[in-house]
Amino acid sequence: MQETKKVILSGIQPSGALTLGSYLGAIKNWAALADEYDCYYAIVDMHAIVARQEPAALRRTQLEHLAQLIACGLDPKENTLFVQSHVPAHAQLAWVLNCYTMFGELSRMTQFKDKSAKNDDNINAGLFTYPVLQAADILLYQADLVPVGADQKQHVELTRDIAVRFNGIYGDVFKLPEPFIPEVGARIMDLQSPLRKMSKSEVADGGCVLLMDSPEDIMRAFKRAVTDSEISVRYDPANKHGVSNLMQIYSVCTGKSFAEIENDFSGKGYGDFKPIVGEAVVELFRPIREEAEKLIAERAYLDNVLRTGAEKASYVAHRTLSKVYRKIGFLERPR
């Protein structure tokens, strides 16, 4: 008998552009998982609207993200790619789970505190209950693993807490997911502020490299990258934040260890190192950018991918939702 593959679920917000951090910290790792796991990747448009979005831009960004994910190696024949709002079960389960999540748990979520501080004119209920929708995303597919950055681990822990609470009342309904955090490349930092994670919401300072940036823009960003007053290329994340971040980027791009990088650049300074890192990123992104540009022009193909993905995701999600509805006592709709 063939062993059932474990399930992986992750989502990406269609707000802003995909970054070097998005790719090295998440998407690059996703592409390698399809052989071993049953993979579901959602473009989470429902999460995106906790901040105000321009409607036409949101629709365009979803298609661009889909094209870029495919160009990054996520074959739709091997991975289930879909838009979150195309599967109504996400919103339906989120409401049920809201009723099994404590106010205190949500008020302690670090991301809510951070985003509230940045958006004090729009602290809406969706921002507060965002982690419950995220829990529904995960639990609907009975995910075993959730690829996340280290800063998102708290959300997986809350998902587990909600699942344990629900299972404790109604029996074995939800599988308890585990965070999947790669050892290298999980947290790429801003090139201008290397104590801050590279984020597509912080593009203006010049420290963020985008997946679709031109080679000239990429090289400019790396040549301007913040380092330190020393000249040695040495991995020391506690004291050499900028250089260590560049080394991590170069390591993930080339497969070289930190020791090999230190040896290669022994006796050389940052003026030699930074352009080499930039060139590695340019060459890494060149085929991805070219393929994504080609796919964005093929709307019929992208629509078919989304249709097929939504059908498979809906089938799996509905099985879980139906079980939840029966357990809590909802009356089945007469056929």
What digits encode the pLDDT tens for the residues 79-133? 999 999 999 999 999 999 999 999 999 988 887 777 776 777 778 888 899 999 9
Check residue 206 and give its pLDDT. Answer: 78
Domains within the chain, CATH numbers bracketed: 6-180+299-328 (3.40.50.620), 215-293 (1.10.240.10)
Which contacts (CB < 8 Å, 24+ apart) does range 70-73 have?
A: 70/291, 70/292, 70/295, 70/305, 71/287, 71/288, 71/289, 71/291, 71/292, 71/295, 72/23, 72/27, 72/28, 72/30, 72/31, 72/211, 72/288, 73/28, 73/31
Q: Which two tokens stand for residue 279?
A: 């060139």
Residues designated as active site: 115, 197, 200
Check residue 1 and give its pLDDT. Answer: 44
Which residues is 83 bridged to in the sheet? 43
Taking the C-alpha atoms of residue 40 and residue 212, their distance in angstroms, rounded to an integer, is 24
Q: Which two tokens stand for residue 11?
A: 């989502």
Please list the ranges in the chain whose pLDDT falls under 50: 1
**29 contact partners, CB below 8 Å, separation of at least 6:** 147, 182, 185
Check residue 182 and give its pLDDT. Answer: 63
